[in-house]
Amino acid sequence: MIDSAINIKIRTGLFIILIMAINGCKNETGEKNSSKIITIELPKKPNILWLVTEDMGAYLPMFGDSTIATRNLSRLAKEGVIYPNLFSTSGVCAPSRAAIATGMYPSSIGANHMRTTSYTEVTGLPKYGAIPPPEVKMISELLRSEGYYCTNNYKTDYQFKAPMTAWDESSPYAHWRNREKDQPFFAVMNFTETHESGLFEPYGFREIETRHYHSGNQNYKWQNFGGSHAKNRMTEEKTPVHLSKETQFDIPPYLPDTPEVRRDMWKLYNNIAEMDKQVGAVLKQLEEDGLLENTIIFFYGDHGGPLPRQKRLIYDSGLNTPMIIRFPNKWKAGTVDEQLVSFVDFAPTLLSLTGTNPPEHLQGEAFLGEFAHDEERTYIHAAADRFDGYTDAIRAVRDKRFKYIRNYRPEQGYYLPIDYREKIPTMQELLRLRDAGELDSIQMQWFRASKPIDELYDCVNDPHELHNLANDPKYAVKLKELQNEMDRWIAKIGDQPNLPEKELLNQLWNGAQTQPKTAMPNFNVQGNQASINCSTAGASIGYKIITNGNEPENWSVYNGTLLVQPGVDIKVQAHRIGYKPSEIIKKKI
C-alpha cells in the first residue's frame, strides 16, 4: 500500500511519478515499503484518438447506470480516468462541435444557431458560416502544422465549411493507418448509432455503421452508404438485441411511464450497446497495430441525451456527457476526476498534451498536459438560441453544485415544436398526454406558456432541475454570484444574447449582402524557394506539389518558405473560416 504520492501533470516526453513511502508503512504483505521512483516514458508527440458518440447522457455503468453492459467502454474506464463533469457549450451538436473544433464559445463567433445553413426559408437569411477572429484555426490544422497526421471519420458539422487544410483525410475511410510510417496522429472516430434519430420508427440500426469495421481499407466497397437515416437501416428483425425488451428502466420524472416511453428507453440502451461494439472494433485495430500504449484515448459524447427535455435544452440532461480518458501505461487507471470540463477546453488541452503552448486567444483552459492550468475550472457556461425553425435566447452558468439560467425571452414557453424531435415516439406520447390533460405537474413544466427570467437549481439535490430556487432568500448570495459570473463571461467573449440573427449576419459579413470571399493567394518563387501569402487576414493556405503529373490527394499546410524543385507544378488555395475559399491557382516551377 502506498502512503502518499506526489501528483504531477502529464507532460510530453519523459515524465516521472515520485512515490514516497513513510517510514513504518506496511504493504499488503506486511513488508515495509521503501522509497522508489517509477518512470513512465511517453512519446514527445503522443498519438491522440477521439471516440465521439452522439446524443449521449450518462447511461453507462461506470457513470452509475448498469442497465446495459458495455464491455469495451467498461474496459476503457477500468484502464483509464472517468470524468463525470464534462459539459457541452450547447445542448445540440453543431454549435458544440464548433466549440470543440476551435476552442471558442459558439456565441462568440456566430456559431450559436442550429444550423447556419438550414431553415433559410424560416429565417429569411442566406446560408452562412461562423466567422471566428482571424487568429483562430481549427485544432486539427494546428496539429498538422506540428507534424501530426489528422483524420476525421467522418462527421463534421462545425457551423462552417472546414478549410482544405483542416484534415489529412475526412471521409468514411479516414484512419491513422493511412499515415506515413511512425508519424504521430490525431484521429477522430464519430459514432452515430446513439443519435436521436436512432429512436425513430421504424427502428433499426444503420447499415453505414459498418464503416468502423472497414476504416482504413480503401479497397472496401460501400453498400448503401450515404443514404438517408430513414432508408439506410437494417430491419428490426435483423437488429441485434443487446437487452431484453422486458427490461425495467428508470424513467426520468419529466417523462411519463408508458409503454411508448419504455420502448424508446429500450432503443436508447440497445443503441448504446451497439455503439460499444463499434468502439471495440476501433480499439482492436489500435491494439493490432501495437499503438495502445503510445496513444491517449478520449471517449465522450457531443452533448447530453437524445430524449425530449434532454437534447437542445441547457439543463444537465442536455449538456452533461460522460468522458473517459485512457492514458498510456494505464496512468491513474480506474480513478475519477471530478473537475469541471467544458468543450472549449478540448483544443487547448490537445495542444498541451502534444507539447504546444496554447495560444492566448483560445477561450478554453487546458486541463491536462505540460501547459495545464494550475487551478481547476470554477464554472462552465452554455447557450441556447435557434434550433431549426424556432428561436429562443437562454444562457447558463454552473459551478460544481448550482446552475443559474437566464431567459432572455421569458414571454416565450420552453417547449419548441421542432419537427425533427416530434418524430420520436416519446415526444408524440408527451403531446398526446398533454392534450388529454394527463401529464402531472412535473411533466407539464416543459409546456408552460412562459418562463421566469431567472432560474437557479441545486444540481446535486435536484439533478433533474425541477425546483427553481431563484426566489428563495436562502440562495440570494449564490444567485448573485452566478449572475455576476454570467455578466462577466458575456462581456469577455462578446456574446450578444437575443441579437436578431439578421443583425448577427450583418456583423459577420460587415454589412455585405453576400458571403465574403478569401482573396487569391500571392505566389512568389526565387530559386528553389517559394513563398505564399494572402491579403485576407486569418486565411489558411494550402498547397499541393505535383511531380510528374502525380497530384497528392490532400492539401499540405503552408507555414512559411517552401522548398521546391524545378519542373514541378504547385497548386495553392487560401480559405478563411466562414469565407468562401479562393480560386485555386497553379504555377509551374
Question: What would the DSSP string read from start to end of 478-535?
Answer: HHHHHHHHHHHHHHHHT--TT--HHHHHHHHTTT-SS--BPPPPEEEEETTEEEEE-S
User: Considering only CA atoms, which of 55, 41, 50, 43 is closest in space to residue 76?
Assistant: 50
Q: What percent of the chain has pLDDT over 90?
A: 82
Return d(Cα 323, Cα 354) in angstroms, integer: 19
Domain annotation covers residue 126: no
Return d(Cα 204, Cα 503) in angstroms, integer: 42
User: Do residue 463 and residue 359 come from a single domain?
Assistant: no
Distance linking the first and last C-alpha atoms of the chain: 67
Domain annotation covers residue 389: yes
| Mean pLDDT value across residues 532-556 | 96
Cβ-based neighbours of 426, under 8 Å, separated by 6 or more? 199, 255, 260, 261, 264, 307, 308
Confidence of residue 211 (pLDDT cuts 50, 70, 90): confident
Domain annotation covers residue 463: yes
Residue 16 vs residue 203, higher pLDDT: 203
pLDDT at 399: 98
What torsion, rounded to 10 degrees, do the Cα atoms 146, 152, 157, 161 define? 50
| Mean pLDDT value across residues 223-239 | 63
Full-model pTM: 0.93
User: Do residue 29 and residue 64 come from a single domain?
Assistant: no
Residue whose cell numbers read 469541471 = 340
pLDDT at 460: 98
Domain annotation covers residue 123: no
What distances in angstroms separate CA 570 from CA 534, 545, 561, 579, one per listed residue? Answer: 16, 5, 14, 23
pLDDT at 5: 32
Mean pLDDT of the chain: 91
| 534 in catalytic set | no
324, 62 Cβ separation under 8 angstroms: yes
| Mean pLDDT value across residues 473-494 | 98
Return d(Cα 467, Cα 483) in angstroms, integer: 18
User: Do residue 331 and residue 402 come from a single domain?
Assistant: no
Express each pLDDT in 124-162 by its tens digit.
999 999 999 999 999 999 999 999 999 999 999 999 999
Confidence of residue 86 (pLDDT cuts 50, 70, 90): very high
Final residue in a domain of this structure, among 378, 412, 428: 378
Return d(Cα 23, Cα 33) in angstroms, integer: 8
Domain annotation covers residue 197: yes
Confidence of residue 100 (pLDDT cuts 50, 70, 90): very high
Final residue in a domain of this structure, among 378, 412, 430: 378
Lowest mean pLDDT among 201-215, 345-359, 446-460, 510-524: 201-215
The residue annotated as part of the active site, out of 93, 150, 459, 534, is 93
Confidence of residue 43 (pLDDT cuts 50, 70, 90): low
Final residue in a domain of this structure, among 363, 378, 393: 378
DSSP letter at 558 equals P
DSSP letter at 63 equals G
User: Do residue 503 and residue 542 come from a single domain?
Assistant: no
User: Do residue 416 and residue 498 come from a single domain?
Assistant: yes
Owning domain of residue 34: 4-41
User: Considering only CA atoms, which of 544, 406, 397 is closest in space to residue 482?
Assistant: 397
DSSP letter at 149 equals E
Domain annotation covers residue 516: no
Return d(Cα 43, Cα 13) in angstroms, integer: 5
Residue whose cell numbers read 504521430 = 184
Pair type for strands 36-41 and 149-153: unpaired
Which strand ranges, in their side-by-side order, compose the sheet holding 540-546? 556-557, 540-546, 569-575, 585-588
Pair type for strands 149-153 and 185-191: parallel
What distances in angstroms separate CA 248 from CA 241, 245, 538, one per listed residue? Answer: 15, 9, 54
What CATH number is associated with residue 584? 2.60.40
Domain annotation covers residue 514: no
DSSP letter at 550 equals B
Give the count of alpha carbons within 13 A of 577, CB side only: 25
